[in-house]
Amino acid sequence: MKKLIVCGSLAVFALGMQAASAAEYYIVRDTTTKKCTVVETKPTTTTTTVVGDTVFKTKSEAEAGIKTTKVCTEQ
């Protein structure tokens, strides 16, 4: 019975850690400066807008996405 409880606890812990590490990154553009940046949470204000509909899994993927996004490279 102890083994079952320990195994169950480890499984719950492992699933919790996996969910916690599932970060999301967005490319957003400031409406006044027209500058693109990477953020971890989807903006809820009107001063920034999400560029495209892609949600990135890592920050480096999102930063690479800025370089290939037309609206972010035009200035």
The pLDDT of 11-28, averaged and rounded, is 66
Note whether residue 73 is domain-resident.
yes
List residues bridging with 49 in a β-sheet: 29
Note whether residue 7 is domain-resident.
no
Total domains, the chain? 1
Note whether residue 51 is domain-resident.
yes
pLDDT band with cut points at 50, 70 and 90 for residue 8:
low
Domain containing 31 equals: 23-75
Note whether residue 53 is domain-resident.
yes
Question: Which of 29, 19, 30, 12 lies closest to 65, judged by CA?
Answer: 29
Note whether residue 18 is domain-resident.
no
Q: Which of 14-18, 21-25, 44-48, 63-67 has the lowest mean pLDDT?
A: 14-18
Note whether residue 75 is domain-resident.
yes
This prediction's pTM: 0.67
Report how far residue 52's alpha carbon sits from residue 44's, in angstroms, rounded to the nearest whole number.
15
Check pLDDT > 60 for residue 4: no
Note whether residue 10 is domain-resident.
no
Note whether residue 45 is domain-resident.
yes
